[in-house]
Amino acid sequence: MSLSTDAPALTEPECTTVSNPRRTTLAGGIAGTALGTALDDLAARLDGGIVRPADQDWDAARAAWQLGVDQHPVAVVLAASEADVARTLRLATRLGVRVAPQSSGHGAVALGPLEGAILLRTSALSTVSVDAVARTATVGAGATWGDVADAAAPHGLAGLAGSSRTVGVVGYCLGGGLGWLGRLHGLGAGSILSARVALPGGAVVIASASEHADLWWALRGGGGAGVVTELTLRLVEVPDLTAGTLWWPRARAAEVLKAWARLIPVLPREITTVARVLTFPDIEELPPHLRGAQMVLVQAAVVGSAALADRLLAPLRGLEPVMDDIAPVSPDALGHLAMDPPDPSAGAAEGVVLATFGEAAVDAWLEALDGPACAGVVAADLRQLGGALSPESGHDAALTGLAGAVAAVAVAPVTPVADAAAAAQAVAAALAALAPWASAHQYANFVEQPADEETLVGTAHDRLDTIRLSYDPDGTVLRRHGG
């Protein structure tokens, strides 16, 4: 395994690997004082910092974007450089402690409480540099899709981002990456051109089609191995983009969703649509007509002119939406289209990929959403798949696509009247109604509870296991859905 020439020079003693059976909590056997001394030593070497349970800012440091998750690591390392990531991995390998890389914490539910592990916060590594000629972006481990959109849009370029500006690029791409441009350009994972990856022991390697190609393959939708410190991504040109929302009152949901279900199989890959049943909160930040409103929406992003959007959406416009704001936009507007919450929040969210979707599924979905068991669900989304999102044989990636017609996601916030368990039950009840149409394979980024990897990546699982054993034999780096 060759190391990158500019791997950080580390002055720590050579590591002695403690025998670590994979998928177990490793810190259990370490005497607290030995770990404390080692963390003191690490703190003195870091460019960033370290926060421990007795520190005043402990609760802020261990908090994830998903506020319902209560993370209890032994310490939080606030990495300020690639060298910090490598130093942390070197110490962890020597002591047999697991390390959980986390940027935003959007995916924290599937990770668990982190007891005995070091939480490695990468959010300060948020640099983005765009090469407009090569059409690439090189992003630090803590960059969000908002950071990339702001840097790429002035060049008429876009990354294959998802719905939210606050989601981290690395976690999103390692899990697949389903976004507005996906039906034309594929999953975000497929846009990873190369990565810098810090490995247990502290070495940093470059993974690409020509170097450590097995690791590169594993990073493209398979969760990878080690800690990514930097990704270089392919950007796409978006000369014409038309996007926005068609709105109807909730009472029209059945006819709108059935018309959408009939339309999506015949749409070309230039258009990606999402059908949504939403209950807006009654808050002052919203315009008066949306406060507390219950609506059914079809949102669309069309890589093309307004005339093309008009033609493709004509069957839905025929249902006379009460609002229609579909218009030419710049690529960075896509990060606002879904109206995802900009701030951390607590709630339950879960998704399911549906092999097929038709009128019977619409009836089952709406009957469930109308029932008392789903009373806490405020967003029930149906995301159109197909086109370049379909699995592609021969594509060099652990996850080559999502086999299905639609991905459904239900979201229920934790509120003064709905606790975490009630929110989770409401979401589960909504998705249970779609079980007859569920695909055998599920999508990692939309599965919040820890899941069996085979369900997420199918036959790629065996090769992923082999690759991880070679790069991280002791399972030092914790991953969501990593067992």
Ligand X SMILES: Cc1cc2nc3c(=O)[nH]c(=O)nc-3n(C[C@H](O)[C@H](O)[C@H](O)COP(=O)(O)OP(=O)(O)OC[C@H]3O[C@@H](n4cnc5c(N)ncnc54)[C@H](O)[C@@H]3O)c2cc1C
Tell me which residues touch ligand X (CB under 6 A). 101-108, 111, 122, 141, 162-164, 167-168, 170-172, 174-179, 223-224, 227-228, 340, 445, 479-480
CB of 401 to ligand X, least distance (A): 13
CB of 125 to ligand X, least distance (A): 8
Residue (of 260, 203, 264, 209) closest to 232 by Cα position: 209
DSSP string, 321-378: -SEE--EE--GGGHHHHT---SS-B-EEEEEEEES---HHHHHHHHHHHHSGGGTT--
Coil vs helix vs strand at 146: helix
**Nearer to ligand X (CB atom), residue 10 or residue 125:** 125
**Which residues face 409 on adjacent strands?**
351, 381
Q: Which residue is nearest to ligand X (CB)?
A: 171
CB of 435 to ligand X, least distance (A): 22
**Nearer to ligand X (CB atom), residue 140 or residue 244:** 140
CB of 434 to ligand X, least distance (A): 18
CB of 255 to ligand X, least distance (A): 27
**Nearer to ligand X (CB atom), residue 103 or residue 259:** 103
**Nearer to ligand X (CB atom), residue 95 or residue 409:** 409
**Nearer to ligand X (CB atom), residue 192 or residue 259:** 192
CB of 118 to ligand X, least distance (A): 13
**Nearer to ligand X (CB atom), residue 259 or residue 456:** 456
Query: Beta-carbon neighbour count of residue 38 at 10 Å?
Result: 18
DSSP string, 435-459: GGGB-SS--GGG--S---HHHHHTT
CB of 441 to ligand X, least distance (A): 15
Query: Who's near 18: CB < 8 A, 6+ residues apart?
Result: 26, 94, 95, 96, 474
Any idea of the CA torsion for 245, 391, 480, 334, to the nearest 10 degrees?
A: -20
Query: Exposed, middle or buried, 102 (CB in 10 Å: 0-12/13-18/19+)?
Result: buried
CB of 178 to ligand X, least distance (A): 4
DSSP string, 286-318: S-GGGTT-EEEEEEEEESS-HHHHHHHHHHHHT
**Nearer to ligand X (CB atom), residue 164 or residue 273:** 164
> Which amino acid is present at 346?
A
CB of 117 to ligand X, least distance (A): 11
Helices (H) and strands (E) in the chain, counts: 14, 19
**Nearer to ligand X (CB atom), residue 259 or residue 457:** 457
**Nearer to ligand X (CB atom), residue 260 or residue 446:** 446
Q: Name the residue with tokens 């199918």.
A: 458
CB of 222 to ligand X, least distance (A): 11
Pairing of strands 271-279, 204-208: unpaired
Coil vs helix vs strand at 272: strand
Q: Is the sign of the CA dihedral 11, 12, 16, 17 positive or negative?
A: negative
**Nearer to ligand X (CB atom), residue 132 or residue 420:** 420
Q: Name the residue with tokens 């239900």.
A: 410
DSSP string, 182-250: HHHH--GGGGEEEEEEE-TTS-EEEEESSSSHHHHHHHTTS--SSEEEEEEEE-EE-SS-EEEEEEEEG
**Nearer to ligand X (CB atom), residue 259 or residue 299:** 299
**Nearer to ligand X (CB atom), residue 195 or residue 259:** 195
Any idea of the CA torsion for 32, 37, 38, 41, to the nearest 10 degrees?
A: 160
> Which amino acid is present at 267?
L
CB of 41 to ligand X, least distance (A): 23
CB of 300 to ligand X, least distance (A): 15
User: Residue 215 and residue 238: Cα distance in Å, rounded?
Assistant: 30
